[in-house]
Structure 1
């Protein structure tokens, strides 16, 4: 339904413009807030996710290597325990 009321049309245009302006201000405020948060968090001692994952992978590899060395040491100690002890040589 079309209206011939010019005042009402002007009011609707004004409100549409105001809504667009408020939406733009909200987007700008959100962007500024995000940027400030990034700056603040960037100053703290946080690590990036990829750096954390790399260190985590190295820790897993080190743990696996440690377990392998423990098993090797246990096998060598078992071999050493199975050998008869040698008598010390007498000094002349």
Structure 2
């Protein structure tokens, strides 16, 4: 009977060693699978999630900046149009000649004033 407890101790030691070995094999398999998946993904040129999120954020920032620039350009165009209108309005109201009317040069569009 004294051999029986020792047998169970040896059996428990072997089982514990087997579990340790299996855990090591599991880790090794995980490492091999992960490296193989990374290799395949690299060949397929697949983007990782983190990289995708960064690019998506950059695109959203660029879109917002573009919309802001469009609004600012629209406001500047309206301001330029208003300033041009304000500049030409006093000339028409006072009857003064503007460079576009032809009155400043004295030419009325009649080509008979030129000799042949």
1:40 and 2:58 matched: no
Matched with 1:27 is 27
The equivalent position to 1:68 in structure 2, one of 65, 72, 91, is 72
Q: What is the match of residue 80 of structure 1?
A: 84
1 or 2 for the larger relative contact order (CA 8 Å, sep ≥6)? 1
What TM-score results when the alignment is normalised by the length of structure 1? 0.68
Quick one: distance in 2 between partners of 1:6 and 1:74?
A: 97
Partners of 1:63 and 1:26 lie apart in 2 by: 53
CA-to-aligned-CA distance 1:9-62 (integer Å, 9 cap, x gap): 111011111101111111111122222222223332426257514454344333
Find the aligned partners of 1:7 and 1:18 in 2 and give their Cα distance: 16
Q: Which residue of 1 aligns with 2:18?
A: 18
Structure whose CA Rg is larger: 2
Relative to structure 1, the CA distance from residue 40 to residue 77 in structure 2 (aligned partners, 3 Å threshold; closer, same or farther) is farther
| CA RMSD between the two structures | 3.0
- Segments of 5+ residues of structure 1 without an aligned counterpart are none
Q: Report the TM-score, using the length of structure 2 for normalisation.
A: 0.57
More moved, 28-37 vs 11-20 = 28-37
Q: Could you list the runs of 5+ residues in structure 2 that have no partner in the other structure?
A: 93-97, 103-107, 111-116
